[in-house]
Amino acid sequence: MSEDLLLTDLTDGVLTLTLNRPKANAFNEPLIKATQTAFKDAARNKDVRCVLLTGSGKIFSAGQDVTEFGGEHDQPRSFRAHLQKTYNPLVLAMRQLEKPVLAAINGAVAGAALGIALAADLRIASDQARFVVGFGGIGLAPDSAVSVMLPLLIGLGRAAEAAYFNDPISAEQALAWGLVNKVVAADTLADEARAWAQRLADGPVYAMGLTKRDFNRAHLAHLEEMLDYEAHIQEVAGRGPDHKEGLMAFLEKREPKYRK
């Protein structure tokens, strides 16, 4: 089943990974595990010179499938344990892969999936793409390296605005702020992304890997520590009243009432 959730294709040095869990490509544990495994295999496979990550359909990914966490009367899960098992290793695998990773953002991306997209080296987006921090919508704090990568790319003030208000960032605004490298028409995204990925795969990948190592050391030296701290903070947030109300409102398809 996990193979169907993540479509893979290796052609001319480009490993294309397509999130394939309709209708929103939301991450559940099998999809996360399959993506982790794909990046680990990419590191070992000399035939892989570039990884292209995208989503099927019109959505990149809505992030974590919150229905995995149940409702009000279900046994609470540990957010810290979940992150340490799922997104934290995936983000680290992407950043530690000494090969270029290109994300093709074909539509909306939110929550943990935003962290995955930001962990890529380069991002090319459809003009229909929308970027939503998402966590605040269910009373949580950012995780999956969003608290690290988003301020690094767009600045602390803009990141705070995006996290607190939870308003979508358009593709055009994302380009202006440096959140993505390029925006193209939706019907040309696949071809444009493939062309970029092929150019990367045909380039000096060994030197790119060393450059990525430099960038990680200069700007993300404490990434693993921060992922662990995010998991701690998310455990606190997950036990708080805002998340309880936010999650129930989401499941009941209503507006949350935080000032009860």
Q: Would the pTM of this model clear 0.85, i.e. be above it?
A: yes
Give the model's pLDDT for residue 1. Answer: 42
- Asked whether 18 and 202 are in contact (CB, 8 A), the reply is no
Please, how many CA atoms are within 13 Å of residue 165, restricted to the half-sphere of its CB? 10
Burial 28-53 (b: 16+ CB within 10 A, else e): eeebbbbbbebbeebeeeeebbbbbb
- Domain residue extents for the chain: 2-188+202-251
User: Which tens digit of pLDDT belongs to each residue from 95-123?
Assistant: 999 999 999 999 999 999 999 999 999 99
Instruction: Tell me which CATH code domain 2-188+202-251 carries.
Output: 3.90.226.10
DSSP E strands, 159-225: 169-170, 182-184
Give the model's pLDDT for residue 187. Answer: 97
Spell out, as residue ranges, where the chain has pLDDT lower than 50. Answer: 1, 73
